[in-house]
Amino acid sequence: MNEKEFNPQSMDAKVWAIEFMRLYRENALDPTWVDEGLMIGWFANAIMAGYDESQRRAIQQRERLVDSVKVLADCLLPTKDSYRKDDERVTCYIKVGDLRKAKQLLAEIKEKK
């Protein structure tokens, strides 16, 4: 693996280990290159890669939930497109799949809290 292939956003410990070993082999003749500062930086970056990925996933989950809620709102709140002038009743077609998706996402969020 060369430096261009290393993905510092990876949460895969093997990717981090392979890159560390590559650096180690390149600097094996200089025993002073590995010190506490290097190790703190290395592990801090690996930990933050995991944290950043969890934040990205949480944002994506919230966006999916917002999309599902918008679908429900479109169905439950009358708009000029959801009723006919000659009929006082509001006609709305709710996709069962959208309701299930919204219910599932809400359950996932409750579990994480």
Select from 14, 17, 11, 16 the least CA-distant residue to 54: 11
Mean pLDDT of 67-86: 60
Select from 80, 77, 73, 62 the least CA-distant residue to 99: 73
What is the secondary structure of 55-108 as a DSSP string? HHHHHHHHHHHHHHHHHHHHHHS--TTSS-TT-SS------HHHHHHHHHHHHH
**How high is the pLDDT of residue 83?**
44
- Rounded Cα distance between 106 and 71, Å, is 14
pTM of the entire structure?
0.52
How many degrees, rounded to 5, is the angle at CA 15 between CA 12 and CA 16?
Answer: 95
| pLDDT over 50 at 82, yes or no | no
Mean pLDDT of 58-73: 79
Residue % of the chain over a pLDDT of 70: 70
For residue range 1-28, list pLDDT tens digits in order: 455 688 888 888 899 999 999 988 898 8
For residue range 47-56, list pLDDT tens digits in order: 999 999 999 9
